[in-house]
Amino acid sequence: MYSNQVRQATVAEIPNRYVLVFDRQESGAPGIAAAQRESELPQLLAEQGYSSTEYFPMLGIAVVTSSADQLEDFRQRCAGHKLPASVVPELVYRILPDAPAATDSYADTGQLTWGLQAVGASLSGYTGKGINVAVLDTGFDSAHPDFAGRTVTAKSFVAGEDATDGHGHGTHCIGSACGPREPQQGPGYGVASEANIFAGKVLGADGSGSDSTILAGINWALENKCEVISMSLGADVRTVHPPYVTAGRRALELGSLIVAAAGNNAQRSAGNPGFVGAPANSPYIMAVAALDSKLAVADFSAQALDTDGGEVDIAGPGVAIYSSWPGAKRYNTISGTSMATPHVAGVAALLAESTGLRAQELWDKLLSTSRDIPLPAEDAGAGLVQAPASQEA
């Protein structure tokens, strides 16, 4: 089921062309008699100087080329004959190029990662411009050439470490959320390629952190009016940790949406579905599952808990994800609900830009526009996150 494949059309009026509809507009009223449609109307049209080649007697509809004065004169003529006539401008319709048919299998190409293809970022006219996206993680390699010229605000909350990414995970997540779609080399890998980046270092070079650093990072993101906060981190605990209930709720109150990785504690191939850990199991934090390139749930991706907030809310690409990496390596391909989360954050930025929605309304929009996939909600929530379509030219 691919419920979001909507064909769209553009319309424009054609100058001096009108559609004349000879009928009573009231619901249930009898139409005009066949004799009038077949003889009286063609005669009236001819007397007005209109061609009868575009008159359709079966329908009681004519399409004419006319000046406004001529049209008004004709309307009065019809009224004199007690013929109901309505006039609308003729429109030209153009079917937009179809989006590629929804597929359930993707692969990296020379132009785009499979993840960008799957979420529809490559077809979106939106880039997250003007939207502040905070990625709270292991920091960022601000010298990475793919981010030259980008607006980046970085801050470390880890004692004894600056905001430089000494791990790689943070730079990778920032790449998926906010990296380029057309880098100088290799495939495009970033969803919100023009968003303002806020790189909050809340995990140290060893990849771990605590409430002290993470909550400080959330607080900083809120102070900086970040519309989207992405957290690819977690702990394998079933119990909801109260500080994140408050943090998620207050973020929504302040116009911000927090998305977090559901967790990698499953081993589905061994019969262990895992569970959504903290902080993603807060009711006010959106929990993100990971899919592979065939849109199957990843073996490691945690399943919903049977508690308020323990749901999996949405899914994103999270297996074999190519993105930026610090230092000379520049790029790396890794897996995790960590990788799915910034895809959702990036799409949230595009939706925030395209709709103006924030916080809970943005949350609802992300879910309602996601792509239905044949997976249980306990594994993939509302489905695969989807970028908004292009703006009309």
Partner 1 sequence: MSGAEVHVYVITISTQHPLEPVVSELQSRGLQVKQVLAALGQVIGEGSEDVAEKLRSISAVESVDAQQQYRALDDDA
Residues with catalytic function: 137, 169, 338
Decide: helix, strand or coil at residue 239: coil
Q: Does 339 bind partner 1 (CB under 8 A)?
A: yes
**CA 318 distance to own-chain centroid:** 17
Measure the CA angle with vertex 348, ends 106 and 366; round to 5°.
80
Give the residue, chosen from 21, 61, 63, 237, that forms a contact with partner 1 under the rule CB under 8 A.
237
> How many angstroms separate the CA atoms of 381 and 376, rounded?
7
Give the residue, chosen from 158, 261, 314, 359, that forms a contact with partner 1 under the rule CB under 8 A.
261
Decide: helix, strand or coil at residue 363: helix
Give the total of residues touching partner 1 (CB under 8 A).
Answer: 46
For the residues of 40-58, what is the DSSP string, one character each? IHHHHHHHTT--STTEETT
Q: How far is the CB of 336 from partner 1 (least distance, A)?
A: 4
Rounded to 5 degrees, φ, ψ at 211 are -55, -40
> How many angstroms separate the CA atoms of 266 and 302, rounded?
5
Q: Does 250 bind partner 1 (CB under 8 A)?
A: yes
Give the residue, chosen from 203, 276, 304, 305, that forms a contact with partner 1 under the rule CB under 8 A.
203
Give the residue, chosen from 16, 219, 272, 355, that forms a contact with partner 1 under the rule CB under 8 A.
219
24 or 225, CB closer to partner 1?
225
Q: Does 317 bind partner 1 (CB under 8 A)?
A: no
Q: Does 346 bind partner 1 (CB under 8 A)?
A: no
Measure the CA angle with vertex 385, ends 330 and 115; round to 5°.
30
Residues for the chain: how many in total? Answer: 393
Please return the burial class of 258, using the count of CB atoms within 10 Å of its CB with bins 0-12, 13-18 and 19+: buried
232 or 370, CB closer to partner 1?
232
Q: Which residues in the 85-144 window bind partner 1 by CB under 8 A?
A: 137-138
232 or 293, CB closer to partner 1?
232
> Which of 249, 251, 375 minimizes the C-alpha distance to 309?
249
Q: Does 246 bind partner 1 (CB under 8 A)?
A: yes
Contact string 285-304 vs partner 1 (x = CB under 8 A): -------------x-x----
> How many angstroms separate the CA atoms of 376 and 311, rounded?
11
Q: Does 380 bind partner 1 (CB under 8 A)?
A: no
Q: Does 208 bind partner 1 (CB under 8 A)?
A: yes
Site for partner 1, rule CB under 8 A: 137-138, 167, 169-170, 172, 203, 207-212, 214-216, 218-219, 222-223, 232-235, 237, 241-243, 246-247, 250, 254, 261, 263-264, 278-279, 298, 300, 334-339, 341
